[in-house]
């Protein structure tokens, strides 16, 4: 047999190796796609929690005077929130004399929680709110 006659196609080992490489490549591609979808879902949930938190922090204490204490509730049926309101003391090394400040400062600490499957996710937000003394 001549050399050209022996080279008529691929051997079984070459075909198996090609399919094995294809399987590994497709498996890696699927893992990347699943991971991307998971990250997109996490980002969407955190964005929704952030929007709810911003809305609550923007409106809390409007129309009524802020007082020290806590509050809690839900955003829809998925997100639970807890808010803690505490007086804020200006640090002593601040360039502003706290005794001369024309406002009272309150710190609002908000914790938003939601569940997905067995996992509980949490996001924390904080802001300061200035009130004029009574």
Task: Tell if the pTM clears 0.75, that is, is over it.
Answer: no
| Nearest partner of 110 among 80, 79, 78, 83, judged by Cα | 83
pLDDT in tens, 15-68: 999 999 999 999 999 999 999 999 999 999 999 999 999 999 999 888 788 889
Domain ranges of the chain: 3-131
Contact 117, 94 (CB under 8 A): no
């Amino acid at each position: 047999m001549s050399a050209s006659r022996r080279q008529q196609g691929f051997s079984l080992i070459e075909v198996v190796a090609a399919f094995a490489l294809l399987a590994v490549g497709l498996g890696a591609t699927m893992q990347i796609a699943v991971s991307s979808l998971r990250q997109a879902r996490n980002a969407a949930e955190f964005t929704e929690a952030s929007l709810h938190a911003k809305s609550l922090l923007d409106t809390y204490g409007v129309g009524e005077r802020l007082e020290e204490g806590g509050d809690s509730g839900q955003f829809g049926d998925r997100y639970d929130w807890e808010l803690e309101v505490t007086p804020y003391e200006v640090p002593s090394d601040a360039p502003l004399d706290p005794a001369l400040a024309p406002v009272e400062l309150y710190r609002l600490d908000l914790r938003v929680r939601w569940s997905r499957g067995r996992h509980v996710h949490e996001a924390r937000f904080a802001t300061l709110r200035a009130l004029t003394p009574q």
